[in-house]
A and B are shown apart, each in its own frame.
Chain A
Amino acid sequence: MIRLDHLTKSFDGAKTYAVRDVSLEVGEGETLVLLGASGCGKTTTLKMINRLFEPTGGRIELDGQDVFNVDVLELRRSIGYVFQNIGLFPHMTAAENVEIVPRLIGWSPEKRRTRSTELLNLVGLDPQAFADRLPRHLSGGQQQRVGIARALAADPKYLLMDEPFGALDAVTRDQLQRELLDLREALDKTIVFVTHDLFEALRLADRIGVMNNGRLEQIGEPKELLNRPATPFVADLFEHARRQAELIGAAS
């Protein structure tokens, strides 16, 4: 379980706040989507969970333990992280990228190779064809599949995903969203997923946390947000999306 307690972050010595007083819980096996426009504080919140940013105030607990009482490197290695701009190591092959965390925690080369083969299969990349390719010889979708496999390599309990499909075209994004749903069924991970795309949020989330201006506007199941928006911001968000959906309905 992930618990954020009155979490606050300021980058400029308390003049302005990127994240203000955010409190929430993510249950075992749950997928929480943080939804909001760029600059709303959702990525900052995510990065504080594995201590890429230090909070200005508040607490973060993983399974009841304050993350500041855990060695920062061990913490990060125990949390899978999928980056917005993918961030594959350009000088390492797909397999080497997947094996990086196992390598850091000292697995044997054989065990690492078995694991990367398994994971490349899992994310739909034939190891025969892709294991030894460098990232620049992969398409964007293939790169992010490697990115997901890399995050899963050491079998972490938690997965943090920072707009992982933001840079992909619509068709590839749709495909990867579907595969992520399948993966979730198979793997039982606790996931925090950041996106600005309402439809992506609706599709993937058990619960959605809507963020605006550093604050958590509302958190709840998609149906709840849709039917009982707590703030005008949340209401507008869904109203806007509804009109878009109607446009599509009218056209078809």
Chain B
Amino acid sequence: MRQRLIVILAALCAFASPTLAQRTDTFRIGSKNFTEQEILGELVAQLLERGTDLNIERQFGLGGSDICHAALLNGELDCYVEYTGTGLLNILKREVIGNADRAYRTVAAGYRRQFDLEWLPPIGFNNTYAIAVRADDAQAHGWKTISDLAAVADELRGGFTAEFMERPDGYPGLAEKYDFTLGRTVDLDPGLMYDALADGQVDVICAFATDGRIAEYRLVVLEDDRAFFPPYDAAPVVRSESLAAHPRVREVLASLAGTINDDDMRQMNYAVDVLKRSPAEVAREWIDSRLGPTVAPEDRNENAAGDERGVIALAIERRGEVTRKVGEHLVLTFLGMVIAILIGVPLGIFIHRKAAARGAVLAFTEIVQTIPSLAMLAFLFALYGLLGTAPAVSALVLYALLPIVLNTYTGLREVPRQVVEAANGLGMSSAQRLRLVELPLAAPVIIAGIRAATVLTVGIATLSTYIGAGGLGDFIARGLARNDSRLTLLGAVPAAVMAVVLSLLIRLVERTVRRG
């Protein structure tokens, strides 16, 4: 029985996870969760769509280098664009190499040997970290180089991405190399960092050298006078296996080599971040300008020319995509809840009957609840070695367990003692007592727990985007990455509505159960 349940659960996950279905002519392209990565992902994807017969799948907006790399290793992705500095320091865990060519050669050799992954030729630009400050401050204090900050470092507030705070070539190394520490630092989302600096919430940020917003927000980049930041040349990284299977990929992507310089990249980022155009459109324009225009390729509903339209206009224009994301979100929520109920209710019954197991089970579900959602997703992704629905649904199940288990247990405990005694006295077996008396009486409380869990699940499911499971979180993450509140609302509003509607529906069921 238990084995059969596990098989069913596994089948459900497999069914729900399109990434599990192996299709040999499919080529999957990933990106991390910031603008430049999506543009580069689109460039690679559209070039391959034009130049090959491959069925291209996009897995954009993944939550960091580690997830992209792991996905590449286990075949969830065939290709994404990585930076030499990241590959060297984060993935290979080597020392900083200042020379760009040597860094590229080292990283390419290391990847080939250790991971059987191939670095194609660099695209041309170097998106290294850069320390940026407000232009007004720089003028007032006469700051030109990073060293100039040392004198007032105690009074400065730094706003850095989470990755920068931890990387050896990030803040820890910077502080050591320049021999100063800032008065305060806060971890910020990459999309919010520039606003925080422009608004005066922080004084120093770790900009990306190619970021389009540097000029737009009246920021200046300070010179790295002690040559701390290593080169971050961008290049496509591809599975050797995939290259062998599809030799055309190498030829087509060779056309990218050395074609985009820092300035080109900054302009493309600017077009998306500031002019609110879609990465797909910006990528298409660039390809058209090099290879000549073709018939517009598949419209990914990303072609919203940004300007100043309201969120409602945007929603109407992208209704097809919104509907699809709502559907994905419902599927995630539904799968998570069904599995959580199948596990949680029996677990609640079990701890009601076996007092010895109660403390341990409740403590487990409570501890799970305190694990930050993103950490949980990253952990489950590592555990499964899969992107997409399976780890996302597993995370949802784990979070939904506490309210379901706790309410099942509480509901059963609150069945009046004399009713339980009557059931026993009349000769009900323990299973009959459960089915005929205890569960029906506990049902309203159990359903209330399911309702709470559902609302929770709709919310947490928005984070599934970071491991490529889709849903409304895609809009929210893209909105955050591009600092576009309309996009964020496009995800957040339907998610809120979904939570309210599902809650009301379940409350109706609850009322029906509480009959009379």
What is the interface of chain A, defined by CB distance below 8 A to chain B?
50, 52, 72-78, 81, 83-91, 100-101, 104, 134, 136-137, 150
With A89-B419, A104-B432 in contact, do A136 and B424 touch (Cβ < 8 Å)? no
CB distance from B165 to the nearest CB of A (A): 56
B440 touches A83 (CB 8 A): no
Contact A134 B516 (CB under 8 A): yes
CB atoms of A76 and B440 under 8 A apart: no
Q: Say yes or no: B418 contacts A86, CB within 8 Å.
A: yes
Q: How many A-B residue pairs have CB under 8 A?
A: 59
Q: Is the CB of A101 within 8 A of B424?
A: no
A77 to B418, CA, bound (A): 17
Contact partners of B424 in chain A: CB under 8 A = 52, 76
Tell whether A75 pairs with B427 under 8 Å between CB atoms, given A89-B419, A91-B440, A104-B432: yes
The SS class assigned to the B binding surface is: helix
Q: How many residues of B contact A (CB 8 A)?
A: 19
Specify which of A77, A78, A89, A137 is in contact with B422 (CB 8 Å cutoff): A89
Contact A136 B421 (CB under 8 A): no
Contact A85-B426, Cβ < 8 Å, known A90-B441, A91-B440: no
Q: Is B429 an interface residue (CB 8 A)?
A: yes
Q: Is A83 a contact of B425 with CB atoms below 8 Å?
A: yes
Interface residues of B in 404-454 (CB under 8 A from A): 416, 418-419, 421-429, 432, 436-437, 440-441
Q: Which residue of B lies closest to A136 (CB)?
A: B516
Residue in contact with B421 in the complex, picked from A52, A77, A101, A137, CB distance below 8 Å: A52
Q: Point out the residues of chain B lying under 8 angstroms from A104, CB to CB.
A: 426-428, 432
Rounded to whole angstroms, the CA-CA distance of A85 and B418 in the bound complex is 7
Whether A73 and B441, one on each chain, are in contact in the complex, defined by CB atoms closer than 8 angstroms, is no
In addition to A87-B418, A100-B426, 12 A-B residue pairs with Cβ atoms within 8 Å of each other are A52-B424, A73-B427, A73-B428, A75-B427, A77-B426, A83-B418, A85-B418, A88-B422, A89-B422, A89-B437, A90-B441, A136-B516
Question: Do the beta carbons of B429 and A73 come within 8 Å of each other?
Answer: yes
The A-contacting residues of B in range 24-64, CB under 8 angstroms, are: none
A223 → chain B closest CB, angstroms? 33
Interface centre among A74, A100, A137 (most CB of B within 10 A): A100
Q: Which residues on the B side are within 8 Å of A78 (C-beta)?
A: 427
Given known A-B contacts A87-B418, A89-B419, A81 and B425 have beta carbons under 8 A apart: yes
B441 touches A76 (CB 8 A): no
Contact B427 A91 (CB under 8 A): no
**In the assembly, what is the distance between CA of A136 and CA of B425, in Å?**
21
Partner of A91, one of B421, B422, B425, B441: B441
A76 contacts B427, C-beta separation under 8 Å: yes
Bound CA–CA A52/B515 (angstroms): 31
CB distance from A77 to the nearest CB of B (A): 4
Chain A residue nearest in CB terms to B443: A91
- By beta carbon, the residue of chain A nearest B420 is A87
Chain A residues within an 8 Å CB radius of B416: 90
**Which of A52, A83, A86, A101 neighbours the largest number of chain B CB atoms within 10 Å of its CB?**
A83
For residue B425, which residues in chain A have a CB less than 8 angstroms away from its CB? 50, 52, 76, 81, 83, 87
